[in-house]
Amino acid sequence: MFSPSGSIVSLGLFFHLLHRVPHVVLLLGGLSGFGFSAEAEWQNSLKPAGTPARLPLPLVQDGKPAAGILCTENATANDKVAATELQKWIKEITGATLPIYFGGAPGRNIIIRSDSRLGEDGYWLRAKDAHVLLWGGTKRGLMNGVFALLEEEIGCRFYTKDSIRLPTTNTLVIAPVERRYIPQLKLRDPYYSSASDPAWSLRNRTSAPHAKVPEEQGGHVDYDGMFVHTAALIVPVDKYFSTNPEYFSQLKDGKRSADQLCATHPDVAKLAIAFVRSVLSQNTNTELVSVSKNDNTTECHCERCEKLRIEEGSDMANQLVLVNQVAEAIANEYPRATIDTLAYLETVKVPKTVRPRKNVAIRLCNAAAGSWDHPFTPAEQCDIAGHIAAWGAVHDRIYVWDYTVNFSHYLAPMPNLDVMAANIRFWARNHAEGVMLQGGYQGPAERDELKSWVAGKLLWDPSRDEKALTQDFTWGHYAAAAPALAEYESLLSQIRVDFADQMNSPGGGIRYPMEAPFFTKEFVARATEIFARAKRLSRNDASLLRRVERAELPILYLQCVRGPDFTGTNYAQAVAAFERIARREEVLCLKEGNSDFETSLAEFKKQIRGTASK
């Protein structure tokens, strides 16, 4: 990139040009060729606060390398991979390939090195002696530092796996703001299918188990199949119930139920220890192994369990008897592994005296005491606030399971981005070590790409402003159509204001129906008009039009579910558009569970035929 005089641009001028000059920006992933009159609205929401380095480092000048990438002579595999990744993206931006050196190099360089003082994920970026130093932790730290430099300093964006926004220039100078950052949250999991691509996860610094970043790139949090509700895996019903019913819950009438285990039975502990050891021996990269109850509220009322539950005031005491035994058994052999268990429904309360071991994580679910009943209310204002405060007072390893989508209607319009952001900050203030946001994990869901990107940034740094992040995504991802998509965001925010009472405790809770009072005909008409304008703004660009149509799915879905009496004469048109876009985007599940797209679509079409016969 040249300044008007042809000299190397400064960092400040670089960002000025990034905002003002249309040819500066290249959008990859099939999106190109449209004008950037909307570009003035894009702002680098990730720009680091602080003073840039006094002496800038030219990386590329006039299309030729002006610096190198220097690794130590005994560079680790992480060092080499990070150096190669940085080299790749600098070439994408400038066309120039920076040389990679080991041990020593002429001139000025970006110097890359692993440093265990930065933990596994942290990084340290600074200028020193005319070089730029990039230190990183032992797993993802260096990669995190590379993408911090690319995103925060240079302005690159990786909004989705195929929406990549890069500045293009033949002269690139950096003057980084010095910063040392170690993320608080080890588990950073926007549990949406749109966040499951390993490359996207790596670039956006999430650590989700379902986004399987290869170990050579720093890896991901690994459950190795032991996610949650694992009791049935640990002690299989078909293997043990007929021969050893005492391993399972005793109901109040004395009968045994296969719904849950008897967590205090000594043989159950032996089976659990053997099972977990087997899992860990087969995958030494496993960080979290769940020893947790099945997904129901059955309790064991055998004499041991009943006595302990009454004494401790929580069924969690019984679970911890089992979990602590497993954790103690594997602690020395597998020091990196953590045993986690669910604080969920009847196990959500802290026992009076029983405490988790140090290598036990409590996975607190923001369920009945929070987002299940109040999906539009921040957790700080719900009963869950008391539970996390109580757990935080006795243990420092809390992993939060939050819920962020309508599980009966994955595509339902859901204006809860502000609540997601407020909750992440609240969990962090209460010493959470990990956060998972369970959203549309079975396929496309409402605003999933936007929510995944914004959530990823907040999980990395909870202090960020979700409004600035939303603007960043909207204007960067939707480009020429961004003014209309920004208006749609405002419309969603407005229904939170107009229907505050109804949304405080919506009927159905997080599974609110499409007949909810805040989904008015006026709302749908306004949203439909906005998306019609967004499609016109797409200027016949197929890739941009596809993004806009994907964003419109929730409005089309709402019309399909409500039927012709609500939607009117455009019902058949709405169903046809919904089918075309949903098939293209590979929608399989409209609600949690098995694939129901085809059966639901058949019902929508049946209503068209019924209308025609009247």
Considering only CA atoms, which of 187, 217, 185 is closest in space to residue 88?
217
Average pLDDT over residues 473-500: 97
For 593, the 3-state DSSP assignment is coil
Percentage of residues in the chain having pLDDT higher than 70: 93
Q: What domains can be seen in the chain, in order of their start residue?
A: 11-181 (3.30.379.10), 222-340 (no CATH), 479-612 (no CATH)
The single-letter code of the amino acid at 559 is Q
Q: Are 83 and 57 in contact (CB under 8 A)?
A: no
The single-letter code of the amino acid at 524 is V
| pLDDT above 60 (res 40) | no
Considering only CA atoms, which of 352, 387, 351, 354 is closest in space to residue 369?
387
Q: In this predicted model, what pLDDT tens digit does every residue of 574-591 receive, in sequence order?
A: 999 999 999 999 999 999
Q: Are 553 and 578 in contact (CB under 8 A)?
A: yes
The pLDDT value given to residue 2 = 24
pTM: 0.92
Q: In this predicted model, what pLDDT tens digit does every residue of 433-450 receive, in sequence order?
A: 999 999 999 999 999 999
The pLDDT value given to residue 116 = 95
Mean pLDDT of the chain: 92
pLDDT confidence bin for 610, thresholds 50/70/90: confident
| pLDDT above 50 (res 6) | no
Complete DSSP assignment for 241-309: TTT-GGGEEEPTTS-EEEEEE-TT-HHHHHHHHHHHHHHHHH-TT--EEE----SS-----SHHHHHHH
Considering only CA atoms, which of 167, 170, 169 is closest in space to residue 62?
170
Q: In this predicted model, what pLDDT tens digit does every residue of 242-263 receive, in sequence order?
A: 999 999 999 999 999 999 999 9
| pLDDT above 60 (res 10) | no
Strands (E), 161-201: 163-167, 172-174, 179-181, 187-191
Q: Are 477 and 163 in contact (CB under 8 A)?
A: yes
Q: In this predicted model, what pLDDT tens digit does every residue of 274-328 receive, in sequence order?
A: 999 999 999 888 999 999 999 999 999 999 999 999 999 999 999 999 999 999 9
Q: Could you give the CA distance from residue 533 to residue 537 in angstroms, rounded to a whole number?
A: 6
Axis-axis angle for helices 571-584, 597-612 (nearest 10): 160
